[in-house]
Amino acid sequence: MSLLLALLLAAMPEAGPEYLPEGPAARWLTVTRGGVPRARLVVMTRAVAIRETGPKETVARFGETYDFSPSFLAVRQGEPTEIEFWNLQPDDLHDVFVIAEDQSVLVHLRLPPLSKIVYTFTFHRPGLYAYVCGLHAPEMAGQILVLPEEKE
């Protein structure tokens, strides 16, 4: 496991209730339902190796393994971007933590089996953010690169 991922996992609170950015976290990111996004992205959960379909040796050695697809997103600072998270597994709960560069947890969302959740994310600071499933980390993780605003 990389040092950065170990730090991110250490920064995550226990998987408690869902929450969106407020207070100091809102300086990094605003998350809303609806609005008029300028871009749209879909992130899906993917079963890499699970009990039902194997391979049995992999599951025996590493346990069930999942990932996010895609695991890398690029967005623009200040540009409202609709991100739709899909949980494609019929029997596995997932969640999503969004973590800022300073290791603060900005968002926690639950993804029940066979569900979709949609929010509009507006990042206020450029940089590299992480998104992680707290239930299946470190393998189930990704990054969001926030590029500086476009100058006109």
- Could you tell me the CATH number of the domain that includes residue 66? 2.60.40.420
Domain-embedded: residue 152: no
Q: Summarize pLDDT for 49-91 with one digit per residue, the tens.
A: 877 777 788 878 887 788 999 999 999 999 999 999 999 999 8
What's this model's pTM, rounded to 2 decimal places? 0.84
Mean pLDDT of the chain: 87
Domain-embedded: residue 35: yes
**pLDDT > 90 in the chain, percent:** 59
Averaged pLDDT, 103-121: 94
Averaged pLDDT, 98-103: 92
Domain-embedded: residue 136: yes
Listed as own residue / partner, the contacts of 108-112 with beta carbons closer than 8 Å and 24 or more positions apart are 108/13, 108/15, 108/16, 108/17, 108/18, 108/19, 108/134, 109/18, 109/85, 110/18, 111/45, 111/85, 111/86, 111/87, 112/87
The residue segments making up the domain with residue 27 are: 3-147
Model pLDDT, residue 31: 95
Model pLDDT, residue 34: 84
Residue 88 region, left (φ>0) first, then alpha (ψ -120 to 50), else beta? alpha
Contacts of 33 (CB under 8 A, 6+ apart): 118, 119, 120
